[in-house]
Chains A and B, each alone.
Chain A
Amino acid sequence: MPGIIKKVKNHKKAAAAVLLILLIIAVLLFFRMFVLAAITIAAVIVNEFTVRKMNKQKDPFWKYSKIRNVDFLVIGDINPKAVQSLSESGRTISIFLPGCTLAGAYEVLRHTFSILKESGGTAVLVVRKKNVERIGYSPFEISFFHPVTVNRLGLIQAKYALKLPILFAPIKSLLFLSGLKGVKNASEHCNKEISGFCAERGIEGRLYIII
């Protein structure tokens, strides 16, 4: 029992959130709103698994990971065939960012490129055509951002978005959790900013746009 009390004391905010959710469910059940209660429970479960998977995606980048000097770093939306065959030829780390914008994928690249081999590594960005010009960052991109980036981009809701992706990006959360790896067609495009950024760091930068 003292162990539980200690745990609750150490995680006051989490404990408060759990109590709030239980209270909401209890209120819904009290008023016999069973469907809404079931949806709430499902959303909470989906959210929990999404957050866990989102955090797990960052594991290779932590200091205790031994994964370093990989050949390919694939960042972005559903992995097209062209990229799959490309990355099969070497050690690859993939970051799945469903529905990400080009700006979001590029910002994630700025945070993660150091995992690549210092000379000869390749960064591959995959974005849907409709998201090339759009600006915006989902919780999946933000989870990689340094606090300095969060401040610079003015992402004031970032800390809530990271805890409640189901609320801030419901469709993307479901896509992320399902881990859909499509076989969509994509074509390679040239982007001066990405190529320049990568060339300066001794790596190759490639951009694939899903048609």
Chain B
Amino acid sequence: MDTNRLIFGTGVSSSKDYDGLKQVIRAAVESRILAFDTAPSYGTEEVLGRILKELSDEMVIDRESLFIQTKIDAWQMQESDGNISKYVESAMKKLGVDYIDSLLIHWPVPEYFNTTWESFVKLRRAGAVRKIGVCNVRLRHLKQFAAFDYVPDIIQIERNPLRTCGKEIDFCLEHGIEVQAYSPLCKMDERLRDSGILKKVSQKNGKSLGQTVLRWHIDTGVTPVFTSTKPQRVGEYAGIFDFKLSDEDICKISSLNIDYKMYLESMLCPGL
């Protein structure tokens, strides 16, 4: 069971308070989901660190088994003109760790991208960060990065059956870049919820729609970053490692693509 292929996100739709978040993180850890995603703008770094410390002590989980990912936000890139090491130190302090498994640029604001990336590379070299990457990028950005020899270890993009991002994924798989998908279920948009294709594939495998979509991510080489405020839902989503989708089913689900995006990148990252 490779539950490291699922990341529990503490972003926009997750619980923010200690009690609510601890319940779902406990459910995740009990389901052997040990990878967690946060960001300064989510306001969960400190509470996530505290909860993971408590659960690690209680359930005897060593640091090496955990995967903790955080981000550098646009305002931090701007305020420090890309020299973001002080924010990474602050994140490590909040998370209660002496290294970060993965550090991502949340929004690659063009004006501050180069200097921030240079800081990222230095931090990786110094061992403060193990993997570095960028969120919200398109194929043209990846090609630009390659031209500058900026090779991210990870990218995180909005991806779901309504937005399959085929070109980006092909490029990343070819170049050994790990792809993570945020909003992997597209908040169960009615176009997914009412999809005959998804219903049929789910029924055939005896799984829920959510499980089918998460499995589709994994079977197409992508790690979904999901969230829920309900512990039982977390357990349900962890139960996707006992089946695989056929190539035909993968194609059918991918055919739902309409390039729909919830988040307009340009609004959150001008000039992206």
| Cβ–Cβ < 8 Å partners of A115 in chain B | 264, 266
Q: Tell me the complex Cα distance, A14–B258, Å.
A: 41
Query: Given A110-B271, A114-B267 in contact, is the A63-B75 Cβ separation under 8 Å?
Result: no
Q: Is the beta-carbon distance between A63 and B266 smaller than 8 angstroms?
A: no
Q: How far does the Cβ of A110 sit from chain B's closest Cβ, in whole Å?
A: 4
User: Is the C-beta of A201 less than 8 angstroms from some C-beta in chain B?
Assistant: yes
Q: Chain B 234-272 against A: per-residue CB contact (8 Å), 1 yes, 0 no? A: 000000000000000000000000111111111111111
Q: Chain B 74-86 against A: per-residue CB contact (8 Å), 1 yes, 0 no? A: 1100100000000
Q: Is the beta-carbon distance between A112 and B264 smaller than 8 angstroms?
A: yes
| Cβ–Cβ < 8 Å partners of A111 in chain B | 266-267, 270
A61-76 contacts to B, CB under 8 A, are: 61, 63-64, 68-69
Q: Is the beta-carbon distance between B260 and A110 smaller than 8 angstroms?
A: no
**Interface SS of chain A: helix, strand, loop or mixed?**
helix
Q: Tell me the complex Cα distance, A81–B268, Å.
A: 32
Count the A-B residue pairs with Cβ separation under 8 angstroms: how many? 57
Query: Given A151-B78, A201-B140 in contact, is the A114-B270 Cβ separation under 8 Å?
Result: no
User: Is the C-beta of A152 less than 8 angstroms from some C-beta in chain B?
Assistant: yes
Q: Tell me the complex Cα distance, A145–B267, Å.
A: 8
Contact of B270 among A64, A69, A146, A200 (CB under 8 A): A146
Q: Is the beta-carbon distance between B74 and A148 smaller than 8 angstroms?
A: yes
| Cβ–Cβ < 8 Å partners of B265 in chain A | 114
Chain B residues touching A, range: 20 to 34
Residue of B with least CB distance to A146 = B270
Q: Is the beta-carbon distance between B266 and A113 smaller than 8 angstroms?
A: yes
| Cβ–Cβ < 8 Å partners of A149 in chain B | 270
| Cβ–Cβ < 8 Å partners of B17 in chain A | none
Residue of A with least CB distance to B78 = A148
| Cβ–Cβ < 8 Å partners of B258 in chain A | 69
Q: Tell me the complex Cα distance, A144–B267, Å.
A: 8
Q: How far does the Cβ of A152 sit from chain B's closest Cβ, in whole Å?
A: 7
Contact of B259 among A107, A118, A197 (CB under 8 A): A118
Q: Chain A 140-173 against B: per-residue CB contact (8 Å), 1 yes, 0 no? A: 0000111111011000000000000000000000
User: Is the C-beta of B19 less than 8 angstroms from some C-beta in chain A?
Assistant: no
Q: Chain B 139-164 against A: per-residue CB contact (8 Å), 1 yes, 0 no? A: 01000000000000000000000000
A159-189 contacts to B, CB under 8 A, are: none
Q: Is the beta-carbon distance between A148 and B270 smaller than 8 angstroms?
A: yes
Number of interface residues of A (CB under 8 A): 26
| Cβ–Cβ < 8 Å partners of A145 in chain B | 270
Query: Given A107-B270, A201-B140 in contact, is the A63-B259 Cβ separation under 8 Å?
Result: no
Q: Tell me the complex Cα distance, A96–B271, Å.
A: 20
Query: Given A147-B75, A148-B74 in contact, is the A114-B264 Cβ separation under 8 Å?
Result: yes
Q: Is the beta-carbon distance between A146 and B260 smaller than 8 angstroms?
A: no
Residue of B with least CB distance to A115 = B264
Q: Tell me the complex Cα distance, A38–B174, Å.
A: 69
A103-122 contacts to B, CB under 8 A, are: 107, 110-115, 117-118
User: Is the C-beta of B118 less than 8 angstroms from some C-beta in chain A?
Assistant: no
| Cβ–Cβ < 8 Å partners of A63 in chain B | 262-264
User: Is the C-beta of B111 less than 8 angstroms from some C-beta in chain A?
Assistant: yes
Q: Is the beta-carbon distance between B259 and A69 smaller than 8 angstroms?
A: yes
A91-145 contacts to B, CB under 8 A, are: 107, 110-115, 117-118, 144-145
Q: Tell me the complex Cα distance, A144–B78, Å.
A: 19
Q: Is the beta-carbon distance between A68 and B266 smaller than 8 angstroms?
A: no
Q: Is the beta-carbon distance between B74 and A146 smaller than 8 angstroms?
A: yes
Q: Is the beta-carbon distance between A68 and B261 smaller than 8 angstroms?
A: yes
Q: Is the beta-carbon distance between A114 and B109 smaller than 8 angstroms?
A: no
Q: Is the beta-carbon distance between A114 and B78 smaller than 8 angstroms?
A: no
Query: Given A69-B259, A148-B109, A200-B140 in contact, is the A114-B75 Cβ separation under 8 Å?
Result: no
List 12 contacting pairs A-B, 8 Å CB cutoff, sorted by A.
A63-B263, A68-B259, A68-B261, A69-B259, A112-B266, A112-B267, A114-B264, A114-B265, A145-B270, A152-B78, A197-B271, A201-B140
Contacts A68-B261, A197-B271 known; 16 new A-B pairs at CB < 8 A: A61-B267, A63-B263, A64-B262, A68-B260, A69-B260, A111-B266, A111-B270, A114-B261, A115-B264, A115-B266, A146-B268, A147-B74, A148-B78, A148-B109, A148-B270, A201-B140
